[in-house]
Structure 1
Amino acid sequence: MTLSADPIAPNPVAADTVLQQLQWRYATKKFDPSKTIPEPTWQVLEQSLVLAPSSFGLQPWKFLVVRNPELRRQIVDLSWGQTQVVDASHLVVFAAKVKTDAADVDHYIARMADVQQTSVENLQGFANVVKGFLDKPPYPLDLHEWAKRQTYIALGQFMTAAALLGVDTCPMEGFAPAKVDELLGLAGGEYASVVMCPAGYRAEDDKSAARPKVRYPLEEVISYID
């Protein structure tokens, strides 16, 4: 499955379906290790990561899908024994760019010129704006922390897409990032792990699935400013 360069007409999902699936999803505590995400479904989830939005469109991230069983067993030890890491069908490690700089902008501009069938020169004004932001941010900004925040946008899109497809997920910050980076060959490189997300199908005896979702009422979390 590849991205289309042609305009895509909207095909909205039914409102009731969206709400139903968001109510259905939860941070799955126990996955069924016998169930695997079908390849066509996984390809859609891959594209949900590729299509994730980011500031300026820079995509300062890398998504590592850990398929090696032994590595996943070792990650359990680095995540306080959370077995979702090995029991889920897939494990995605979300990593953020350690330092985003002018070279990253040039790389993105080259890709933009190719996809939009224009010249790099025509995009130079936009490139200069982005480089200026990275070089002298208009407010105090740690670029690695900024990249981490972008990565959480991708995580949210991945989890929402999974819920719409009937796939369970469990976002996990409970692990030792530096040690996971060493294990996956990220240490000292361009990217550092931020969050992990196992994806698969809940076990029938996961008691967490039946617990009512606890959320504050709408009026407590949403304010309208007219």
Structure 2
Amino acid sequence: MDILDALKWRYATKRMTGQKVEQEKLDIILEALQLSASSYGLQPYKVLVVSDEALRKKLLPAAYNQPQVVESSHLLVFTAWTAITDELIEAYLQDVAKKRGVPREALTGYHNALTQLANGFKSPEAQHNWAARQAYIALGTALAAAAELKVDASPMEGFDPQRFNDILGLKEQGLSAVALMAIGYRSKEDTTVALPKVRKDRAVLFEHI
């Protein structure tokens, strides 16, 4: 299935069967997410892959009892850094040096650019908002990858981030939940599956200049 067919096939699945996504397909979705574009390559986020049923039942009320949370195969919780700290920048640069086989000292310009980026925001909240936007790029990549594999997915913003943070212990990790993505297989009980996809016409959406 090519990418356009995959995107026409996918929809925000509301009800799922509970059937487990095959490990091979899950691995491909996660690798696509890992390879997603990210400004400076920094990836200022972390994705929790939640399969534990008891934990998902605990999270359910914090997601306003949306059934995908417990009916999905896995619930991906996208979390973003609450601040861009010197420690996080340095850890990233150490990883760059190791994987590219260059001395850390050769990355001084890169370090200065990342520090300038962090200092350019007026507050940690602004840093977090930027990090959340980076996480959303990864979410889009994961949605496309799932669609190509004919794995259903439901991107979700309808949840209480603070309650998720408390349940998952995210504050202590310098993270905050920003989006969810439930993956699995559509149920016959999902009445939205047959609805025509509504998107803006090209003439409205695009302006060629």
Per the TM alignment, residue 172 of structure 1 is displaced from its structure 2 partner at its CA by: 0.7
CA distance in 2: counterparts of 1:108 and 1:187, whole angstroms: 20
CA distance in 1: counterparts of 2:126 and 2:159, whole angstroms: 22
2:139 equivalent to 1:155: yes
Per the TM alignment, residue 137 of structure 1 is displaced from its structure 2 partner at its CA by: 4.6
Matched with 2:55 is 71
Structure 1 window deviating more from structure 2 (143-152 vs 129-138): it is 129-138
Matched with 1:134 is 118
Matched with 1:18 is 3
8 Å Cα contact 2:51/2:73 also seen in 1? no
Structure 2 length-normalised TM: 0.94
SS, match of residue 73 in structure 1: helix
**1:57-87 deviation line (CA, Å, top 9, x unaligned):** 1111011111221111121111111010000
Matched with 2:101 is 117
Amino acid at match of 2:11: Y
Structure 1 length-normalised TM: 0.88
Query: What aligned pairs does 1:53-202 form with structure 2 within 5 A after superposition?
Result: 53-137=37-121, 142-202=126-186
Amino acid at match of 2:3: V
Per the TM alignment, residue 188 of structure 1 is displaced from its structure 2 partner at its CA by: 4.1
Which one of the candidate residues 8, 11, 16 is aligned to 1:31? Answer: 16
Count matched residues: 207
SS, match of residue 75 in structure 2: strand
Q: Identity of paired residues, percent?
A: 36
Amino acid at match of 1:202: R
8 Å Cα contact 1:61/1:97 also seen in 2? yes
CA distance in 1: counterparts of 2:45 and 2:120, whole angstroms: 21
Amino acid at match of 1:27: A
8 Å Cα contact 1:91/1:199 also seen in 2? yes
Structure 1 window deviating more from structure 2 (40-49 vs 156-165): it is 40-49
- Structure 2: where are the runs of 5+ without partners? none
CA distance in 1: counterparts of 2:120 and 2:190, whole angstroms: 49
Per the TM alignment, residue 103 of structure 1 is displaced from its structure 2 partner at its CA by: 1.8
Per the TM alignment, residue 209 of structure 1 is displaced from its structure 2 partner at its CA by: 1.1
8 Å Cα contact 2:121/2:127 also seen in 1? no
SS, match of residue 171 in structure 1: strand
**1:119-171 deviation line (CA, Å, top 9, x unaligned):** 11111111111111211359xx8101101111100100010100011111001
Question: Alpha carbon RMSD of aligned pairs, Å?
Answer: 1.5
**1:22-79 deviation line (CA, Å, top 9, x unaligned):** 000000011011x111111111111122112211111110111112211111211111
8 Å Cα contact 1:58/1:104 also seen in 2? no
CA distance in 1: counterparts of 2:165 and 2:85, whole angstroms: 21
Which has more helix, going by share of residues? 2
Amino acid at match of 1:197: M
Amino acid at match of 2:2: T
CA distance in 2: counterparts of 1:160 and 1:59, whole angstroms: 18
